[in-house]
């Protein structure tokens, strides 16, 4: 006789996916334009920036930390990239992308390194340390630009955010590459196991010979690096370097991870869950816009939906 079907566990395990399916069904009924190839591609483009940031945030959350500085770091790197690449307008796309990656690495070392030192060396709570970095990075954005956008970016930079490889946006290809790499690192490598171990119990991790401070430093550098790369892509996508760009993106990144069931206390959750959360937020935003819901009500609706999905994700984590 086959195993008995457990409806309760099934609903808890697949709550977010079922919720996403219901949301899609409702949007399709109200607004048929949602179910078009053009709109599907538009959703993928819209979620790409949040995907980079939320992926880095997932690494941090899994260790029991949090990173509030990702939005301003995203904006700052976009500005730095715009200013640098304006001085080298004849670059091709490959070289432009290389510069963007190098800038991301530099920002990872500087911002992530400083944040991790404050947290690990001086034992400051991650919330406070990253809040300080948030204000520093945002302030530098306005100082560098005198509160004015950076215009007239080279075509090679703009193409990264607006160009296509065949029918697929290049920025979507970059997003898939980053998500696949993150999945492999967290689920298939020893380093990934160490990240989970630190989030589960720092003391136990230390007793097992894991360099806790080193792991914490690395995840904040990964978060800063991916946020910086997101900044280059965002700058390319909108065609300008904006000092006020990416405002509130840290909250979207946290929401995507939590919606997917990543535990805020660390040590629990999967990057695949974060991916589902990223897609869910993108679909909700897109659907509300297509239905021409007032922007203020969109914020209210998004808050309610995120709270509901996060509760479902939390119930799933408890079952695991």
Residue 59 to residue 165: CA distance in whole angstroms: 30
Residue 319 has a pLDDT of 55
CA trace torsion 220, 225, 231, 236 (10° rounding): -160
Task: Output the DSSP codes for 155-211.
Answer: HHHHHHHH-EETTEEHHHHHHHHHHHHHHHHHHHSHHHHHHHHHHH-HHHHHHTT--
Selected residue with higher pLDDT from 264 and 216: 216
pLDDT tops 90 at residue 138: yes
pLDDT tops 50 at residue 14: yes
Residue 303 has a pLDDT of 80
Residue 126 has a pLDDT of 96
Lowest mean pLDDT among 144-148, 210-214, 229-233, 276-280: 276-280
Residue 122, domain extent: 36-246
Share of the chain above pLDDT 90, in %: 71
pLDDT digits (tens, 9 = 90+) for 18-60: 878 888 899 999 999 999 999 999 999 999 999 999 999 999 9
pLDDT band at 280 (very low <50, low <70, confident <90, very high): confident
Residue 20 has a pLDDT of 83
User: Mean of the pLDDT values across residues 190-195?
Assistant: 98
- Please name the residue that has the structure tokens 């946006």: 169
Inside any domain, residue 50: yes
Inside any domain, residue 83: yes
Lowest mean pLDDT among 13-17, 83-87, 184-188, 295-299: 13-17
CA 211 to chain centre: 26
β pairing state of 168-169 and 164-165:
antiparallel
Residue 1 has a pLDDT of 46
pLDDT tops 80 at residue 7: no
Inside any domain, residue 170: yes
Share of the chain above pLDDT 70, in %: 93
User: Mean of the pLDDT values across residues 227-251?
Assistant: 95
Look over the chain and give the mean of its residue pLDDT values, rounded to a whole number: 91
Inside any domain, residue 126: yes
Residue 121 has a pLDDT of 94
Inside any domain, residue 148: yes
Residue 258 has a pLDDT of 84
Inside any domain, residue 264: no
User: Mean of the pLDDT values across residues 148-160?
Assistant: 94
User: Mean of the pLDDT values across residues 239-253?
Assistant: 93
Residue 251 to residue 274: CA distance in whole angstroms: 14
Domains identified in the chain, total number: 1
Residue 317 has a pLDDT of 54
SS3 content of the chain, % helix, strand, coil (to 5): 75, 0, 20
Task: Output the DSSP codes for 102-125.
Answer: HHHHHHIIIIIHHHHHHHHTS---
Inside any domain, residue 317: no
Selected residue with higher pLDDT from 308 and 268: 268
User: Mean of the pLDDT values across residues 252-270?
Assistant: 86
Inside any domain, residue 291: no
Lowest mean pLDDT among 30-34, 183-187, 227-231: 30-34
Residue 301 has a pLDDT of 77
């Amino acid at each position: 006789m086959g195993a008995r079907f457990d409806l309760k566990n099934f609903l808890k395990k697949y709550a977010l996916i079922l919720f996403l399916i219901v949301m899609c069904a409702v949007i399709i009924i109200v607004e048929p334009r949602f179910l078009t190839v053009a709109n599907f591609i538009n959703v993928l483009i819209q979620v790409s920036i949040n995907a980079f940031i939320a992926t880095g945030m997932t690494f941090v959350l899994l260790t029991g930390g949090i990173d509030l500085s990702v939005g301003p770091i995203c904006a700052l790197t976009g500005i730095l990239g715009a200013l640098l690449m304006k001085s080298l307008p004849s670059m091709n796309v490959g070289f432009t992308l290389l510069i963007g990656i190098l800038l991301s690495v530099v920002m990872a070392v500087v911002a992530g390194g400083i944040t991790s030192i404050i947290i690990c060396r001086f034992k400051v709570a991650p919330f406070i340390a990253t809040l300080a970095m948030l204000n520093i990075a945002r302030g530098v954005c306005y100082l560098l630009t005198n509160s004015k956008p950076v215009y007239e970016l080279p075509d090679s930079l703009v193409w990264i955010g607006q160009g296509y490889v065949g029918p697929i946006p290049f920025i979507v290809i970059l997003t898939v590459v980053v998500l696949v790499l993150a999945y492999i690192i967290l689920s298939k490598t020893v380093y990934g196991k160490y990240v989970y171990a630190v989030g589960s119990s720092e003391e136990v991790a230390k007793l097992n010979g894991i360099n806790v401070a080193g792991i914490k430093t690395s995840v904040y550098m990964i978060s800063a690096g991916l946020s910086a790369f997101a900044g280059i892509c965002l700058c390319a996508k909108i065609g300008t370097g904006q000092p006020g760009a990416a405002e509130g993106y840290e909250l979207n990144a946290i929401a995507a991870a939590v919606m997917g069931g990543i535990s805020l206390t660390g040590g629990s959750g999967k990057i695949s869950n974060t991916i589902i959360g990223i897609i869910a937020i993108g679909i909700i935003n897109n659907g509300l816009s297509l239905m021409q819901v007032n922007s203020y009500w969109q914020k209210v609706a998004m808050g309610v939906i995120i709270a509901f999905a996060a509760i479902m994700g939390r119930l799933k984590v408890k079952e695991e």
